[in-house]
Structure 1
Amino acid sequence: MEDPSAEEVQKKPWKYVGYKRYTEFISTDPDLLIFRRFGTLNARVGLVLQDRISLLEQKLIDLDNEYSRRNADPINNGTLRDDIQDREALLNTISYHLDKYNKFLIQQSQLREYVRAPSRDIKSLRTWHDNHQNMAIDEEEHKYLEQHQDLICLQSNEKTPLRNWIDNSLTLRTLSIWKKQTRNVPTYEANNISYYSNTSMDSFASAMIVLVGAFLLVTPLWILQAIENLQTKLAVITTFVLVFLLILSFAMVSKPFEALGATAAYAAVLMVFIQVSL
């Protein structure tokens, strides 16, 4: 079956594009798997579950107090197997609601670990809708993209600052070297939407980091070899160590203590070279 013409799609994107193409589009890149966290609603539901359990808890306390009074009928409060029916039923109800509440808390804890969706990725989705006159998906159904503070990425890959720099730059992000061929893309969409390879960008960022690292390891050795004055050598080492620390801190994904440890090892290598060359 032939693809519809661009004119047909422009008139009826809800027919020829719809959720089929939208879901295919957002599934091409993990960064585009953006959904709402419903933070406010989840907080309210959590409070409701908590309050229900609090009421049940108070009922159990009142029941225990009632069966412990001196003038009450003698009831064995030291057994679970032969507990009275009303307390056993209440504990079963509490168990059900506690299980639901605990699962909810665990889910919320995990949900909070998802990072907020970057503005650039939200903009990419909104651009897709703009390219289809905001008619491919019902307007009310893609308004979730307006909830910027509540949007999260389903899959968040930790990226180096260099890779983030590429993503944040429209010029760098849309270079032809990143483009990838995507199968089964209709001709009417191929003219409006370009797909870019995250793998290629990551490989480029990794290659740049490796080249810079090799430069910082090899270059000072040749410089130190050509210098005889000890103070000048120490100045060269200090300069390269500071540059190394700055690159680790701002161009790579590393924690402060990890950066300091790697820098200390780097400085030790250079100092050893000085000792050997003396």
Structure 2
Amino acid sequence: MPGMSLSTSETAIGMTEIPITTEPTEDEIQRKPWKYIGYHGYAKFISSDDDFLLLRRFDTMSSRVALSLQDELTVIEEQLGETDATYSRREREDVNNGTMRDDLEDRRRLIDLAAEKLLRYNEFLLQHAAMKKLPSAPARDAKSIRNWHYNLDNAAISRQEQTYLDQSDLIRLVQQERTPLRKVIDSSLRLRTLPLWKTKKDDEEPTALPNYNVGQVSYYSNQRIDNFASSIIVLIGVAMLIAPIWILQALVTLELKLAIITVFICVFLLLVSFAMVAKPFEALGATAAYAAVLMVFIQFGTDTESSLPSLPLNATQTTG
């Protein structure tokens, strides 16, 4: 009947419509994080900060793959050597072993196979060498990610798929060169979580976290911490330049001045070596320049003292 068909059609259309619903509540998210968060939420979390983007380097497996590729090439090398030896025997028919263009088919296949395997082998070694240069991820970063999982009852993603965080070959993909002073701040939970560094993600940023993470994840500005560390280094540098000037000015004997200069040079070398990112030769060069500045000042002070006029102790004033 036409009426029945119309009713069925309307019912079918109504069933395919997806009703507009509100966002899940925090309680629902906490009870079913695997549904409302899952890997899409986890991926957004670890991409929200460079310190959270931790992945495995697979050191042991990479070494095993490299050994396997090496052995495949070794077998081809042995086969190629046997082929050359076979075609070079006296009792064999004459074969031109001095041509590439008219080489025998079986030897040509071995060389082509070796080229293919070598390309894969070399690419893998270069990639593995580059990965080995990446330092291991700090344990505190892996702990931060574990805390995120813990706050969601370890149910946002499969527990078994969280075990990569327990491996010893974790690396942080985005590497930042940090001064030793900055590393000291990072190593202290109290220092690196000072309210002074605290910041928040803009809601419009692609890496902004959903509302269910707002109260659980705290962000601290790397720029503020770096600026603070740089300011401390600058203040120490200024003090290292000004303090010896006043101390040397107050001293009389040359031996004491040289002793003070020696102390400041040693302290300066230690600061440059352990408080800033500097190579040994760069640290020595900066220390040599610093020592030259101090020696110029002490020479200037000595010349000034020697040029001052002196009066005899028994001088008397005469009047006309």
Same fold (TM over 0.5): yes
How far did residue 197 of structure 1 move? 1.1
| 1:85-124 mapped onto 2 (5 Å cutoff) | 85-124=105-144
Per the alignment, in what secondary structure is the counterpart of residue 142 of structure 1? helix
Which of the residues 59, 62, 83 maps onto 1:42?
62
1:158 — aligned with what?
Answer: 177
Conserved 8 A contact 1:3-1:187? no
**Cα contact 1:114–1:155 (8 A) shared by 2:** no
C-alpha distance in structure 1 between counterparts of 2:210 and 2:174, whole Å? 27
Q: How many residues align?
A: 277
Runs of 4+ in 1 over 4 A off after TM superposition: none
Shift of 1:115: 0.5
Supply the RMSD in Å over aligned alpha carbons.
Answer: 1.6
**Secondary structure class of the residue paired with 2:171:** strand
Counterpart of 1:152 in 2: which secondary structure? strand
Structure 2 distance, partners of 1:134, 1:223, is: 61
The residue identity in structure 1 corresponding to 2:132 is: R
| Residue in structure 2 matched with residue 125 of structure 1 by the alignment | 145
Amino acid at match of 2:199: K
Give the alignment partner of residue 200 of structure 1, picking from 216, 224, 243: 224
**Quick one: percent identity of the two aligned structures?**
52
TM-score by length of 1: 0.94
1:165-184 alignment runs, 5 A limit: 165-184=184-203
Aligned to 1:143: 163
The superposition leaves residues 174-231 of structure 1 with CA deviations (integer Å, 9 ceiling, x where unpaired) of 1111111212333321111111111111111111111111111122112222333322
Kept after mapping to 2: 8 A contact 1:5/1:188: no
2:91 to 34, 47, 71: 71
Q: CA deviation at 1:46?
A: 0.9
Between the aligned partners of 1:240 and 1:59, the Cα distance in structure 2 is 68
Q: Who wins on radius of gyration, i.e. which is larger?
A: 2
Q: Which runs of 5+ in 1 are unaligned?
A: none
1:2, distance to aligned residue in structure 2 (A): 5.8
Unaligned ranges ≥5, structure 2: 1-20, 204-208, 303-320
Paired with 2:92 and 2:237, the residues of 1 have a C-alpha distance of 81
Question: How far apart are 1:235 and its partner, in Å?
Answer: 2.4
1:215 aligns with 2:234: no
TM-score by length of 2: 0.82
Structure of higher RCO (CA pairs closer than 8 Å, 6+ residues apart): 1
Work out the CA distance in 2 between the residues paired with 1:67 and 1:119: 60
CA distance in 2, matches of 1:264, 1:137: 57
Equivalent residue runs for 1:11-26 within 5 Å? 11-26=31-46
